[in-house]
Structure 1
């Protein structure tokens, strides 16, 4: 159980100030092959989940969207056609290695001028109140040290009528699948990490961080505590992942 001075890094307890550094080391290690490993580990399912996530944003032309933990820019790339040239997408990440790859991708796709990149901590966003119509975060919230602070910041930077959409791993609700999912998570994922990026420990951490992340009802309650309204969630693929949504009125 974490106290006020420690937090979870996977299954380990670490000082609060150390978690961000450790998470940064994980993503520095995997950044070069991040997209390839996502496709390999999920069989491409993550792309379907991300399309569903952007579908839940209800983006319109002219909207301004902040994508937290943007990484290599999957959600940002899907959002840009929806906001159009009169809108904008701000890609934000605490990890420079990941953000640089996202920026390179936007340039390669010819939309570099439409997507701004900001190196920022989700717990202390460098944006004024009511700056955005939508805020998204995909597979990043579980890596944040103080999730409640990040949720409060997401609420703060949204305009009235704004919507937050969170894609995150959740907990498998089909009991018969849990042993297979555990085998895959704790044996096969680290093995693939070792073979592909020569780093099994980073993928072991990723598996552990999923198990330590709040279950969907608990995260919904955290969003409500942060001031979001009409909060809801949709479980994906037997609960492997979930899309959480909340409005600001």
Structure 2
């Protein structure tokens, strides 16, 4: 289901925060609270929740990105920096990788990880719906597990296309629609095990309940293809990973 906005009786625009309907300005605050809360345990929880599979999903994304020496890469909602770190090793000293996130708690964790790895990358707290970069600046733009938290996904996708060079590629790695035979077991895991893990490991049950709900509200594979095309991207395609639990979408800016 697409995360859409509407105007209620108050005239204020509303949107989804998980299964709740909230005002748009309220969603931004609530999403920020989620990631301020989970930042310190984010990597540990990713390993536990996915049984380490998130590393394979990201490795596939990195391979599909085909980042080469001298390229400029923008990692949106880069969080703790897994993709940025891999990209930085590929672009070399003549290239540039920007690690960005709208949440400063997540960005601090990512920046510290980069420094620990001996990488000094440019970082910026920025909103994907209003990117502070000039048109056609980047060869690659990536967003991993961040698009579903954005209020206006159409605006964010249009901004991602705007900052891509002609011939540049956008890669969107996100939870998607799992194969139907697996859906009942996946639903049970999502709404029972994830909140329990969040409570025990991160001390935050509700943030991981939101995670499960936000996945269900995110556009399915074909809907996201349509959204990317509407944003002006071409050659849009997707790869289902782990039976559609996650999908990698990619599109090219033909200029």
TM-score (norm 1): 0.97
Q: Contact (CA 8 Å) 1:2, 1:13: kept in 2 or not?
A: no
User: What pairs up with 1:3-42 in 2 under 5 angstroms?
Assistant: 3-4=6-7, 5-42=13-50
1:166 aligns to what?
A: 172
2:145 aligns to what?
A: 139
Match of 2:208 among 196, 199, 203: 203
User: What pairs up with 1:182-193 in 2 under 5 angstroms?
Assistant: 182-193=187-198
Measured after TM superposition, the shift of residue 176 of structure 1 is 2.3
CA deviation string 1:71-91 (max 9, x = no partner): 000110111111111111001
Q: Distance in 1 between matches of 2:181 and 2:253?
A: 38
Q: Distance in 2 between matches of 1:21 and 1:233?
A: 31
The question of 1:229 aligning with 2:234 is answered yes
Q: Distance in 2 between matches of 1:246 and 1:167?
A: 12
Measured after TM superposition, the shift of residue 98 of structure 1 is 0.1
The question of 1:152 aligning with 2:158 is answered yes
Give the 3-state SS of the residue equivalent to 1:202 in structure 2.
Answer: helix
Gap runs ≥5 in structure 2: 8-12
1:72 aligns to what?
A: 80
CA deviation string 1:143-201 (max 9, x = no partner): 0000000000001000111000000000111x221111011100000000000111100
User: What pairs up with 1:109-124 in 2 under 5 angstroms?
Assistant: 109-112=117-120, 115-124=121-130
Q: Distance in 2 between matches of 1:197 and 1:90?
A: 28
CA deviation string 1:103-143 (max 9, x = no partner): 0000000012xx11011000000111111110000000000
Q: What's the RMSD between the two structures over aligned residues?
A: 0.9
Q: Distance in 1 between matches of 2:235 and 2:182?
A: 31
Measured after TM superposition, the shift of residue 2 of structure 1 is 4.5
Q: Distance in 2 between matches of 1:83 and 1:44?
A: 26
Q: Distance in 1 between matches of 2:103 and 2:45?
A: 18
Match of 1:51 among 59, 70, 90: 59
Q: Contact (CA 8 Å) 1:132, 1:159: kept in 2 or not?
A: yes
Q: Distance in 2 between matches of 1:8 and 1:187?
A: 21
Measured after TM superposition, the shift of residue 18 of structure 1 is 1.2
Give the 3-state SS of the residue equivalent to 1:62 in structure 2.
Answer: coil
List 4+ stretches of structure 1 deviating above 2 A.
Answer: none
Q: Distance in 2 between matches of 1:233 and 1:91?
A: 24
